[in-house]
Amino acid sequence: MAIVSVGAYGSNGNQAAQFTESLVTPSLRCSVQHFPKYSVMAKGEITEVEPPSSVFSYVCKLGERATSDVIVRLRTVHGRDDWFYSHSKILCAKSKFFALRLSDEWPTYNLLDSRNCVEVICIESDIDHHVNLLRMLYSNLDEPVGDMWHSVKNALGMLKVATKLGCDAIAMKCARYLEAVPWEESEEEEILKALPAIVSSTHKLVAGLGAQVQPVLGRLQPVDAASIRNVFLSAVHMATCPESRSKNLEKFPSDLKVAAQEQVEYMLEEDDDAPLLIADDDLRSELKKHFLKLFEGFKAELNALITTEESQVSEKVILEKVSDLVWASRVLPHVGLNPDFVEFWVEASSEVTQALNSDKLRETFWDTKLRVVEITSMVLKAVGYGSVILTATERTQLVKVWLPFIRETKPVLDSLFAVEKMASEMDVDLCQSIENALVSLVLSLPSCDQAGILADWLRWDHARFPDLSEAFEVWCFRTKAAKRRLNVEPAKGANAISSGGAS
């Protein structure tokens, strides 16, 4: 469909022959005719377009100089000036703007060639939309909506011009089209810029359209809390859905699980906007039950694997559950359940490490062990940095259980990754996070417990990871200066520790 954008509408020789002074009549009868085909010509002559094939028209056409009694001038601030020979009865019937400008209420008229001249100021990018609207005034507006606009951009441009010129019927058809079709992201942003102003406008040409245009914004309206909660819980369910339940579906639930996990995290994330959902006590209680069931399922299947000779539990099942727990460790802090997660993991630590170090699993399940280390890293950070408060006894036990497991697991994981037998590794960020958390955690323990942990660490051949050198240095300083700093009177002859023999 060609768009009129330049030139003045007049009549050429062939068309002029069809009209004589005696035949010209103000009657504007409707007819089931199509627009003629136009082509671009010099200013002052007719500018022709190829109209939509399904658009009906009046006998009088836009641009017919012989029958016109109005000139519409589209002008821009950059000097563009296009003239369109038009008909007052058509303009006034379908546009409040033109009806006002051509009424007796308007004080003056600019006369040109014995015709009224109505000037419309517009920006360059909206010229085509103004021209299309003028053409639409001459069309049959009962035509199907989708045949007229062809794109969201065109419909939105036409809607802005239609509201500006008070063309209610055209504005409504634009709104119906926009409400029904999908939008791209850039189009959605343009709609958000334009429509709220129309909806809230009190200008007399637009005021009546607000309620009619409002449905276009329906898909962008805020959602009530109950609906958000319902979607959130459904997404959590999908995010932890076992693969085995849908083994007959090729891509389900893997792709859907990933999408659900990403959106649950996004709903809880605080970015430019507030989180979509704030957990209350009821929601936390429901989530706690859900994730506790996931925890218990992981422990039960891990125990079944090592206690049953011919267990049907595969590493894939265990890996899926522990991967879901890795995801849970990222999500639960956002809903206030991090203490519950840490408490469960601390209680389950001995049982989990014993199972993974058992004769049956000692040389296998390395992907599962890597995921377990990732969960433990989250727990060590929470406890080591004081986000979750545990007793000294619990903190000591946490270090004594997981420090040997991590330091023995890492060299094997590194070697397997080096020969491409594993897709993932304990990368630099994970290792640094574990080391920092362990140093902080060790330094929070009573000095005697620190001594036992550091002595064991120094005896190990691979003391380079986790590197507890900082904790060792601080322990040495604290221990040496303890009596002085605490104003404790040293016992006679006990100023230094004897390495053997009399002091």
The 3-class secondary structure across 25-65, one letter per residue, is CCCCCEEEECCCCCCCCCCCCCCCCCCCCCCCEECCCCCCC
Distances (CA, A) of 33 to 11, 53, 56, 124, 133: 18, 10, 6, 31, 18
| Range 351-354, long-range pairs (CB < 8 A, 24+ positions) | 351/299, 351/303, 352/299, 352/302, 353/401, 353/402, 353/405
CA distance 401 to 351: 10
CA triplet 430, 435, 439: central angle to 5 degrees? 150
Architecture of domain 13-219: 2-Layer Sandwich (3.30)
Specify which residues 84 forms β-bridges with.
72
Contact status, residue 129 vs residue 157, Cβ threshold 8 Å: yes
pLDDT at 202: 66
Chain CA centroid to CA 253, Å: 21
pLDDT at 96: 92
3-state secondary structure of 499: coil
Q: Report DSSP state, residue 19.
A: -
Would you call 307 exposed, middle or buried from its count of C-beta atoms within 10 A (0-12, 13-18, 19+)?
A: exposed
pLDDT at 262: 95
pLDDT at 196: 86
List pLDDT tens digits, range 331-352. 999 999 999 999 999 999 999 9
pLDDT at 66: 87
- Cβ neighbours of residue 454 closer than 8 Å, sequence gap 6 or more: 442, 468, 471, 472, 475
Contact status, residue 126 vs residue 134, Cβ threshold 8 Å: no
Specify which residues 71 forms β-bridges with.
85, 117
Question: Phi, psi at residue 85, to the nearest 5°?
Answer: -70, 120
How is residue 162 written in tokens?
A: 């239609």
pLDDT at 240: 93
pLDDT at 340: 95
Q: What is the pLDDT along the chain (503 residues), one digit of tens a residue?
A: 333 333 333 333 333 333 223 223 333 333 333 333 333 333 333 333 333 443 444 578 898 888 898 999 999 988 889 999 999 999 999 999 999 988 877 765 666 666 788 999 999 989 999 999 999 998 877 766 656 667 899 999 999 999 999 999 899 889 989 999 999 999 999 999 888 888 877 677 776 777 778 888 899 888 999 999 999 999 999 999 887 554 544 444 578 899 999 999 999 998 889 999 999 999 999 999 999 999 999 999 888 888 877 666 788 889 999 999 999 999 999 999 999 999 999 999 999 999 999 998 999 999 999 999 999 999 999 999 999 999 999 999 999 999 999 999 999 999 999 999 998 899 999 999 999 999 999 999 999 999 999 999 999 876 579 999 999 999 999 999 998 888 877 665 555 555 454 43
Q: End-to-end CA distance of the chain, in Å?
A: 105
pLDDT at 244: 56
CA distance 132 to 129: 5
Sheet holding 70-75, edge to edge: 81-86, 70-75, 115-121, 110-112
Contact status, residue 277 vs residue 228, Cβ threshold 8 Å: yes
List, in sequence order, every beta strand (DSSP E) within 197-322: none
CA distance 171 to 168: 5
Question: What is the C-alpha radius of gyration for the chain, rounded to an integer number of angstroms?
Answer: 39
CA distance 318 to 306: 12
Distances (CA, A) of 112 to 85, 217, 308, 439: 11, 43, 100, 89
- Locate the domains of the chain by residue range: 13-219, 334-485
List pLDDT tens digits, range 166-216. 999 899 889 989 999 999 999 999 999 888 888 877 677 776 777 778 888
CA distance 84 to 119: 10
Residue that the structure tokens 């697991």 belong to: 409
pLDDT at 186: 92
